């Protein structure tokens, strides 16, 4: 690890020590193993996956499951695909600590952005996705789940996008314009009915398949960062810029890039602080979310909740 990277990592550890419940583990460029163990990490799903709240491909009727304090006076909600659901492990500790109600409104591979997408790793149109998404918009607009003070949006950045329900797949640069237009439609549909909207930048997507990534993490248990990659190969700066342009002029929308902390000096390791970051090639473990990302979210959520309360 270069000196610059070492300084960044040391600073990140220092910022988290005061709020992480368990003692921090030393950061090593080539860690001697990691936590949790491979069998645990590969099955470390968000709770909405295991209790039926994260909807499957065929579902079109939205549900909003309640966590943390059901009677809480303030409501935090998360909406989107699995890359929204993965933040559950970071959102729940904050909701519990503040006595907020937490709603989970997610569906597999269906982004919060109002775009037509393909089913995961196929060219088949995901026709159930826009139906579910429109129904979520309608439920929030009519207050079916109560007033939402802070709504967190998350979406995978590499969806295959179509021009319309029957149109062809879009390629760059039109794909970026489609992302921007889709996010703009989502924000305009939701912003009048919630206090604040927080759009989280997507997390890194390792450029290998799930089986290949997990196999690498097992084989290289003692030096797992060889399974990592680079910012350029795992992130889309163009999509992120398009998302931010979509929110221009909407005063209750905030953008947050927490993924930068996962890739010190544009290198994206698979282990930080002795903890395994990824459950698979493109989802973070709930273990890492609870211990590292939850403290990173705290100030942002506190600030946005105060803004929401002040404007309501």
Q: Taking 60 as the threshold, does the pLDDT of residue 23 lie above it?
A: no
Q: State yes or no: cis peptide before 36, omega within 30 of 0.
A: yes
Paired strand residues for 98: none
For residue 171, the model assigns a pLDDT of: 61
**pLDDT, tens digit (0-9, with 9 covering 90-100), for 126-146:** 999 999 999 999 999 999 999
Distance CA 306, CA 292 (A): 23
Number of Cβ atoms within 10 Å of the Cβ of 160: 20
Cα 64 from Cα 118, distance rounded (Å): 24
Burial state string for 150-159 with b = 16 or more CB within 10 A and e = fewer than 16:
bbbbbbbbeb
Domain count, the chain: 1
Is the pTM value of this prediction over 0.85? yes
| 175-212 pLDDT per residue, tens | 899 999 999 999 999 999 999 999 999 999 999 999 99
pLDDT confidence band for 166 (50 / 70 / 90): low
Q: Structure tokens of 222?
A: 């003692």
The whole domain housing 171 covers 3-311
pLDDT of residue 305: 98
Grade residue 29 by pLDDT with cuts at 50, 70 and 90: very low
Q: Residue 255 is part of a domain; what is its CATH number?
A: 3.40.50.1110
More confident residue, 14 or 113: 113
DSSP state letter for 290: I
- Whole-number Å distance between alpha carbons of 137 and 202: 21
pLDDT at position 18 over 60: no
C-alpha–C-alpha distance, residues 271 and 34, integer Å: 7
């Amino acid at each position: 690890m270069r000196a610059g990277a070492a300084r960044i990592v040391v600073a990140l550890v220092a910022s988290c020590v005061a709020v992480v419940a368990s003692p921090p583990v030393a950061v090593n460029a080539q860690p001697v193993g990691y936590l949790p163990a491979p069998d645990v990490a590969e099955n470390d799903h968000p709770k909405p996956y295991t209790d039926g709240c994260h909807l499957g491909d065929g579902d079109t009727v939205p549900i909003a499951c309640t966590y943390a304090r059901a009677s809480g006076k303030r409501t935090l909600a998360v909406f989107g695909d699995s890359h929204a659901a993965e933040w559950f492990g970071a959102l729940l500790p904050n909701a519990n600590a503040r006595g907020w109600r937490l709603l989970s409104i997610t569906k597999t591979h269906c982004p919060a952005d109002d775009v037509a997408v393909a089913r995961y790793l196929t060219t088949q149109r995901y026709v159930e996705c826009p139906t579910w998404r429109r129904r979520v918009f309608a439920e929030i607009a009519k207050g079916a789940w109560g007033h939402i003070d802070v709504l967190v949006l998350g979406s995978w950045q590499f969806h295959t996008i179509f021009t319309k329900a029957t149109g062809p797949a879009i390629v760059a640069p039109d794909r970026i314009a489609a992302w921007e237009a889709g996010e703009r439609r989502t924000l305009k549909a939701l912003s009048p009915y919630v206090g604040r909207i927080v759009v989280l930048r997507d997390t890194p997507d390792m450029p290998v398949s799930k089986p290949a990534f997990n196999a690498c993490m097992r084989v290289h248990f003692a030096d797992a960062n060889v399974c990592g990659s680079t910012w350029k190969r795992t992130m889309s700066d163009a999509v992120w810029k398009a998302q931010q342009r979509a929110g221009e002029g909407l005063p209750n929308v905030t953008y947050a890039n927490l993924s930068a902390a996962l890739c010190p000096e544009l290198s994206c390791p698979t282990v930080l602080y002795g903890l395994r970051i990824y459950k698979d090639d493109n989802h973070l473990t709930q273990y890492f979310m609870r211990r590292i990302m939850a403290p990173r979210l705290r100030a942002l959520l506190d600030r946005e909740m105060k803004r929401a309360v002040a404007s309501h």
